[in-house]
Every structure is written in C-alpha cells, then in structure tokens.
Amino acid sequence: MGQDVELSGVSMRFGEVYAARDINVHIQAGEFFSFLGPSGCGKTTLLRLISGFMDPSEGKIKIGGKDMRGIGSNSRPTAMIFQNLALFPLMTVEENIGFGLEVRHVPKAKRIKKVEELIELVDLYGTGDRMVSELSGGQKQRVAIARALAVNPAVLLLDEPLSALDLRLRNHMRAELRNIQRRTGVTFIYITHDQTEALTMSDRVGVMSIGKLEQVAEPDVIYNTPETSFVASFVGESNIIDGNIIGIDGDYALLKTAYGSFFCKNPQHMEEGETATIFIRPETVFLAKEPTAENGLACRTKTISFEGSYAVVTLTTEQDQLFTMRLNNDGSTPKLKEDENINVRFSRENAFVLKNGGTPIA
Ligand SMILES: Nc1ncnc2c1ncn2[C@@H]1O[C@H](COP(=O)(O)OP(=O)(O)OP(=O)(O)O)[C@@H](O)[C@H]1O
Ligand SMILES: [Mg+2]
C-alpha cells in the first residue's frame, strides 16, 4: 500500500541555479499526484530528491513519516519509471519484470508467482517469454510499470513516461495507469508538462514554474480558480487582457483596458490604482443579442474553426484587439459567418483579475 510523502522547505541549488525553491507539499498515501510545469522548471529534480538520487540543499523529505536524509535510493520505499523506460531489450518480458526481485534474492518460486500476478495486472498476458525489443511502445510501457511495481514500492515516481507514445496510445495508457494506481493503492507521483495529462489522471496537481510550486489543488480547482497569473496562463486557454483597477465592488474589481471596462472577480483582493491582468476562458464567452451594459463587447468575427462538438471563433473588437470564444454545438447557437458584426458578453463570475508578473512562459 502507499505511503505519504511530505516535502518541507525543500530547495535544490546547482551552483547559482535554484532547480527547486522552498517547496512545501504533503502528498497523501494512495494519492495520484502530478507535478505539472514547463521544461526546466524542476520536475525531474523533485523526483530525484524524493527517490534519493540526491539530497536537497535545504529542507526535509519524509516518506511514511520518516525523515529520508542520508537514506540512499535503494533503501527508500520508492521505485522510478524513467522517460526512456530503461528496459533491458535483450531480456524477455518475464526477466525484465522479475529483475528487481532477482537482485534482491527473492526465491525463484515466489518470483515466478509475483511476475505472473504483475503480468495480469498490466494486461500483458501471453507475452512473458517475448523479448522486450519485439514489443510495441504501449507494451514496453506496461513492462516498465510491472517491473517498477515488482519490488512493492509504497511510492511510484513516474517521469513523463508516456511522452514517447502516439496520441491514441497515450490516451489509452493514461486510463490504464490511473486504473493500476487505483487497484494497487500505491502513491503515484507523476510529472508532466502536458496539462491534459495532469488534469485527467490526478487527484491533485501541483503547478510549477522555475523551481517554485505555484499552486496545489484538485484539477477542477486549478482550472476554474487559478491563484496566479502563471497558473492561469499555463493551464488552459484564456483571453488575457492587461488593465488598471479603477474601482472595487465587494469581491469584484472594475478594470479599464484597451478593450473597454470590465468587472471581474478579484481573488487576490487587489486595490484601486493597481495594474493587473484579466483572464477570460473562451468557453465562458456568450453571444449577446445587443450590446450589454456590463462586460459586453461589440466584435467582428474573423475566423471560425468548426471542431465538431464546438467551434472556436476568433473576433476583432472595435478597438482592433483579438478575442476568442468557444461555442458549443448544442443546437442553440446560430450559425456564424466570417466578417459578421456580433455582440458578445461574459459574466463577472467567469472573469478574474490576477497580479501581473510571475513567470513568463517560455
Ligand atoms: N545536475 C545538474 N547540474 C546543474 N544543473 C541542473 C542539474 N540538474 C538540473 N539542473 C537544472 O535545474 C533546472 C531544472 O531541471 P529539471 O531537469 O529538474 O527540469 P524539468 O522540469 O524536469 O525539465 P524537462 O521537462 O525538460 O525534463 C534546469 O535549469 C536544469 O538545467
Ligand atoms: Mg525532466
């Protein structure tokens, strides 16, 4: 069964570079937790710290309540799956899966039984005596998972293990991984730069930018209520508009922007006079019959991209700014043409203003 992993004030410095900076997070036993962030933000570094390939410059890592400082990777209750899988191509599936057990001198009969169980768990039935080099990408993936689970880790660390697979297989393996995690109860710590992957598989997601953990929350909370500009712009699509706060109305702020003046949620309780950025998801923008007093925009349609269940419409505003909306194909929206004058609106509930700055996205 899984164990919890607690990082307190964890920093890792390589010379002048902070690959991790004051990371605080408590990953629960049996949780599927993902670290999500762009390339170079410190994801692999965190996994290496948890698995014991190196110790942090500062801070503490506890697994199952036990301080891990000084405990080498072989003595930690963790296993790791690397991006390139690091399988032995000229060994059979069974030999690969049983490798860790053999190293640990597990008796042969017990080893065979465990390998059989794992082959069933990852759905590799009938491939046991095939060479790994003869397998498909998805099958290799399963061998890597089975091999990592063979040594009964309490925590499985996965470093972008699906990135080499094609889209269809990747989608399939996501569901599969989630399934295996549920069945085994092992704590999964997954890292990825793919937001869909993180949002679909995880119980909770930690979004990282340049060594810093920006927000830790359930996937829907990350998407619906990002706490920083970085999270809002890295996760999902948004219309991003800079402006000045010219008034406060309870939990909402009124901003003056190049597009006009808009009311939006003000979760960081910013004050009048501050410059800030508004985020509006394209799916929260609606057609309006006439120009509306609050949060309305008169626009001209530019491109309409029909995607099946929805259409993405790019618009130019009267002020010559670009704006995007996403219309559901639910029968209720009129068919739009390019170069048509329309009015759109969004609710003050669905727009939010966050402090500028934070980390630019590479
Ligand atoms: N051994 C090392 N020596 C010096 N710098 C390092 C070392 N390992 C990592 N870094 C630096 O730390 C930062 C974080 O690297 P890390 O590999 O953790 O990023 P990542 O989020 O896993 O990126 P990617 O998505 O590209 O794999 C980078 O700036 C990297 O250059
Ligand atoms: Mg990495």
pLDDT tier at 213, thresholds 50, 70, 90: very high
Residues 207 and 241 in one domain: no
Q: Which domain holds residue 164?
A: 5-230
Whether the pLDDT of residue 334 is over 70: the answer is yes
State how many domains the chain has: 2
Residue at 162: amino acid letter: L
Q: How far is the CA of 7 from the centre of ligand 2 (A)?
A: 19
Q: Does some domain include residue 226?
A: yes
Q: How far is the CA of 38 from the centre of ligand 2 (A)?
A: 9
Find the residues whose C-beta lies inside 6 A of ligand 1. Answer: 14, 17, 19, 37, 39-45, 193
Best of 14, 16, 194, 207 to mutate for ligand 1, by most ligand atoms within 8 A of CB? 14
pLDDT tier at 189, thresholds 50, 70, 90: very high
Whether the pLDDT of residue 85 is over 80: the answer is no
- Residue nearest (by alpha carbon) to ligand 1 atom 27: 39
Q: What is the pTM of this model?
A: 0.88
Q: Kindly state the helix (H) or strand (E) to which residue 245 belongs, with its residue range.
A: strand 239-249
CA distances from 302 to 11, 168, 242 (A): 47, 32, 22
Whether the pLDDT of residue 362 is over 70: the answer is no
- Residue nearest (by alpha carbon) to ligand 1 atom 25: 39
Task: Tell me the average pLDDT across 90-116.
Answer: 89
Q: Which two tokens stand for residue 191?
A: 């890292």
- Residue nearest (by alpha carbon) to ligand 1 atom 13: 19
Domain end, chosen from 230, 264, 284, is at 230
Whether the pLDDT of residue 360 is over 60: the answer is no
Task: Tell me the average pLDDT across 90-100.
Answer: 90
The residue to which tokens 């505003």 are assigned: 317
Backbone angles phi, psi at 169, to 5 degrees: -65, -35
User: Average pLDDT, whole number, for the chain?
Assistant: 91
Q: Which residue has the higher pLDDT, 207 or 360?
A: 207
C-alpha to C-alpha distance for 101 and 83, rounded to whole angstroms: 22
What pLDDT sits at residue 136? 83
- Residue from 263, 282, 257 nearest 356 by CA: 257
Q: pLDDT tens-digit profile of 127-138?
A: 878 888 888 888
Q: Which atom of ligand 1 is nearest to the CA of 44?
A: 22
- The CATH number for 258's domain is 2.40.50.140
pLDDT tier at 199, thresholds 50, 70, 90: very high
What pLDDT sits at residue 320? 87
C-alpha to C-alpha distance for 341 and 297, rounded to whole angstroms: 11
Which of 91-95, 246-250, 272-276, 357-361 is predicted least confidently?
357-361
What pLDDT sits at residue 249? 94
- Cβ atoms of 108 and 148 within 8 Å: the answer is no
Q: Which atom of ligand 1 is nearest to the CA of 193?
A: 25
Q: Does some domain include residue 190?
A: yes
pLDDT tier at 357, thresholds 50, 70, 90: low
Q: How far is the CA of 211 from the centre of ligand 1 (A)?
A: 9
What pLDDT sits at residue 86? 80
- Residue nearest (by alpha carbon) to ligand 1 atom 3: 14
What DSSP state is assigned to residue 92?
B
Residues 39 and 139 in one domain: yes
Of the ranges 85-89, 94-98, 290-294, the best mean pLDDT one: 94-98
C-alpha to C-alpha distance for 51 and 44, rounded to whole angstroms: 10
Q: How far is the CA of 360 from the centre of ligand 1 (A)?
A: 18
Q: Which ligand is nearest to the CA of 43?
A: 1
Q: Does some domain include residue 350?
A: yes
Q: Which two tokens stand for residue 123?
A: 């759905």
Domain end, chosen from 213, 230, 247, is at 230
Residues 259 and 186 in one domain: no
How many residues are present in the chain? 362
Q: Does some domain include residue 360?
A: no
Q: How far is the CA of 170 from the centre of ligand 1 (A)?
A: 24
What pLDDT sits at residue 187? 98
Residues 144 and 212 in one domain: yes
β-pair partners for 212: 209
What pLDDT sits at residue 359? 43
- Residue nearest (by alpha carbon) to ligand 1 atom 18: 42
Q: How far is the CA of 191 from the centre of ligand 1 (A)?
A: 13
Q: How far is the CA of 305 from the centre of ligand 1 (A)?
A: 38
Q: pLDDT tens-digit profile of 140-182?
A: 888 998 999 998 899 999 998 887 777 887 888 888 889 989 9
What pLDDT sits at residue 59? 97
Residues 204 and 129 in one domain: yes
The residue to which tokens 């039984």 are assigned: 113
24: helix, coil or strand? strand
